[in-house]
Amino acid sequence: MIIVQNTIVSDNIADCCFCCDLAQCKGQCCVDGDSGAPLDEDEAALLATLLPNIRPYMTAEGQHAVDHFGPSTIDNDGDLGTTLVNGRECAFVCWGDDGTAYCAIERAFMDGKIDFRKPVSCHLYPIRVENYGEFQAVNYHEWDICRCAVQCGRKAGVPLYQYLKEPLIRKFGNEWYNELVGQIESPTTGQ
């Protein structure tokens, strides 16, 4: 494990190669699962505020779910997350012509309708961050649907921590990221 400031980073974040391959996976990480994308309270409040600008990008089913439950809900584990449609897909999924799942929040962002890209947990995926009081655990969530992303990352030679540079900086800051890279790439760490 790698210790960076108040975080414990799993070694496989340094060792694993990763590069999303939407042509293969079709965005299944936004569709499969038993809870929505993890949110913090500020993100949940922000989604509620930005909803009128995101809504046009959402499916009718997603709009209905958000109208009924709100943009965020508490899951069975007591964690705050995005609302689901039929207990499965994120309410903010929108579909491409080829059947690929995209994020309505991110589409609104890309079109300049909002200044919030998407929840940081989505931006960081497949990294998941868990809070343990005084420290946070930064772990790689290995999932079969991302097997093609691992293969694509290996082929391109892109380590996970490099692929997710932008969201890691968004979550933890430049200083943290530079310290992580220094520890991973330092000849004294054996990496």
Task: Convert the pLDDT of each residue in 120-175 to its tens digit.
Answer: 999 999 999 998 889 999 999 988 888 989 999 999 999 999 999 999 999 999 99
pLDDT bucket at 32, cuts 50 / 70 / 90? confident
- Name the residue ranges covered by the structural domains of the chain: 1-18+126-191, 27-117
Cis peptide before 126 (omega within 30 of 0): yes
Print burial letters for 71-103: b (CB count within 10 Å at least 16), e (below 16): bbbeeeeeebbbbbbeeebbbbbbeeeeeebbb
Tokens of 119: 């929840």
- What is the structure's pLDDT at 191? 47
Residues 75 and 160 sit within 8 Å (Cβ to Cβ): no
Phi, psi of 75 (to 5 degrees): -85, -175
